[in-house]
Structure 1
Amino acid sequence: MKKIFGAKKEKEPPPSIQDASNRLNTRGENVDEKIKKLDAELTRYREQIKKTRPGPAQEAVKARAMRVLKQKRMYEEQRDMLYNQTFNLDQVSFAAEGLKDAQQTMSSLKSANKELKGMMKTVNIQDIDNMQDEMMDLMDVSTEIQESLGRSYSVPDDIDEEELMGELDALEADMGMETESDGVPSYLQPDNELDVESELKLPSAPSGHGRHNAQGEDEHGLPAVPQASIRG
């Protein structure tokens, strides 16, 4: 049957937006190249017109320049049309890419939503609250254990504030005395009064009452008065 009627040809898939845009861009580049060549030719004719005197020769150059200018205008119109088509394709391409991104975003959100629902089924808020309560209880027990292990053994607990202040005052007084004694050199600290007197070599005071020394002085260091003169 296929040999008689022939096989049905498969249709080629339509060109994509990117393919059509690339083709238009290629055509636009070719048109731009042609316009550049025509511009160079017009520049040459312009120089010839300046150098040629008015007359038939100059008119012939102007006619050739006019034909080139008409071709340039035609190519410029084609280039503008190609640019407009490329712009329209770019807008369609942007819209299509935006829709694809939206589809992928929706698909990702649906997948994430399904995964979250499955995870929520395995998590119970009551279990979390119970675990938090147990953790708080364990922390309290741990604190009590640490306080018990850090307790001192031989420290009396019946010391009042007055006793504490008295002990501190006594310590302060002892520290003051030690500071004063430390500040005086040993050679300036006498051991007793006898050492001071021996060092100063002072005469000792008379011990007897009413007795006179060899120099005729009484116990106060004054000249003694004879007993006879006193009686008389």
Structure 2
Amino acid sequence: MQRIFGVKKNRDPPPSVQDASDRINKRGETVDDKIKRLDAELARYKEQIKKTRPGPAQEAVKARAMRVLKQKRMYEGQRDMLYNQTFNLDQVAFASEGIKDAQQTMSALKSANKELKGMMKSVKIQDIDNLQDEMMDLMDVSSEIQESLGRSYSVPEDIDEDELMGELDALEADMGLETESDGVPSYLQPDKEPDLEGELNLPSAPSGHTPVPTTNNQAEDEFGLPAAPRASIRG
């Protein structure tokens, strides 16, 4: 079979954009080197033309300089063409990288979309609404339980509010009286001595020596009492 149909030759893979760009850049560097050598040669011919006198020798130097200048122009045209090719390849490479980025982005979005669809199957809006309603009901039941536990057992239900208000007013009046007298009897209040004289109504003690009235112009002693008569001594 191989002798009849032959063997299929293995073809090399086509060059990539980067390979083609590298190859063109190398050619461009070679052309730049040639242009630099031609510039140096032209500079030498210019010096020779300045030094030689007009005549056949100067014309010969000019002819060589014109030939070199033509070569330089040709290489410059090739270099510009290579630069254009490199620019085109760079644009293609940029577009290719952009497409690769777009492919990766689309692949990531598809994977995320698939994952979100799987997650949304387990989460439904109706289930969330039902859960919220159940939570609201539980909170209401909890509030009712707290109110029921907070009720007082000793307060009767048939209490007259007017009667309570009257007792409250009387309590406030008593509290006002106690506030004025501080709620302590005068004899028990600190910093105050009991007024025993006022309570017993006793007469006040004499504050000085009051002379006792005497009769018949009788003499008095130092205490205001009648002086005893002295016996007269006769000699």
Tell me, what secondary structure is at the counterpart of 1:10? coil
Change (3 A) 1:5 1:109: closer
Question: Which residue number in structure 1 is paired with residue 14 of structure 2?
Answer: 14
Task: Count the aligned residue pairs.
Answer: 187
SS for the counterpart of 2:131 is helix
Identify which of 213, 217, 220 aligns with 2:210: 213
1:45 corresponds to which residue? 45
CA distance in 2, matches of 1:192, 1:64: 147
Go from structure 1 to structure 2 and tell me whether the alpha carbon gap of 1:106 and 1:55 turns closer, same or farther (over 3 Å shift): same
What is the match of residue 72 of structure 1?
72
Q: Which moved more, 1:139-148 or 1:85-94?
A: 139-148
Report the alpha carbon displacement of residue 100 of structure 1 after superposing the two structures with TM: 2.9
Q: What code does the residue aligned with 2:210 have?
A: N
Deviations 1:9-61 (A, max 9, x none): 23322222222122112211221222222223323333x14650423443333
1:180-214 deviation line (CA, Å, top 9, x unaligned): xxxxxxxxx786899xxxxxxxxx8968xxxx934
The 8 Å contact of residues 49 and 62 in structure 1, kept in 2 or not, is answered as no
Alignment match, 1:228: none
Partners of 1:139 and 1:55 lie apart in 2 by 115
Residues in 1 aligned to 2:147 and 2:39: alpha-carbon distance in whole angstroms: 97
Deviation at residue 110 of structure 1 after TM alignment: 2.8
Q: Where in structure 2 are the equivalents of 1:90-169 lying within 5 Å?
A: 90-139=90-139
CA distance in 2, matches of 1:205, 1:44: 153
Identity %: 69
* TM-score normalised by L of structure 2: 0.57
State the partner residue of 1:55: 54
Deviation at 1:74, TM superposition (A): 0.8
- Contiguous gaps of at least 5 residues in structure 1: 179-188, 195-203, 217-232
Q: Is the 8 A contact 2:49 2:61 kept in 1?
A: no
Task: State how far apart, in whole Å, the 2-side matches of 1:143 and 1:4 are.
Answer: 96
| Larger gyration radius, structure 1 or structure 2 | 2
1:76 CA drift (Å) = 0.5
Distance change in 2, residues 1:8/1:134 (3 Å): same
* Aligned equivalent of 1:25: 25
Separation in structure 2 between the aligned mates of residue 72 and residue 9 of structure 1, nearest angstrom: 43
CA contact (8 A) 1:35 1:75 kept: yes
Deviations 1:131-190 (A, max 9, x none): 2233344455666778899x7x9xx9x998x969x97xx79x97xx99xxxxxxxxxx78
Would the alpha carbon gap of residues 142 and 61 (structure 1) be closer, same or farther in structure 2, given more than 3 Å must change? farther
Distance across 2 between alignment mates of 1:61 and 1:141? 114
Q: Is the 8 A contact 2:49 2:62 kept in 1?
A: no
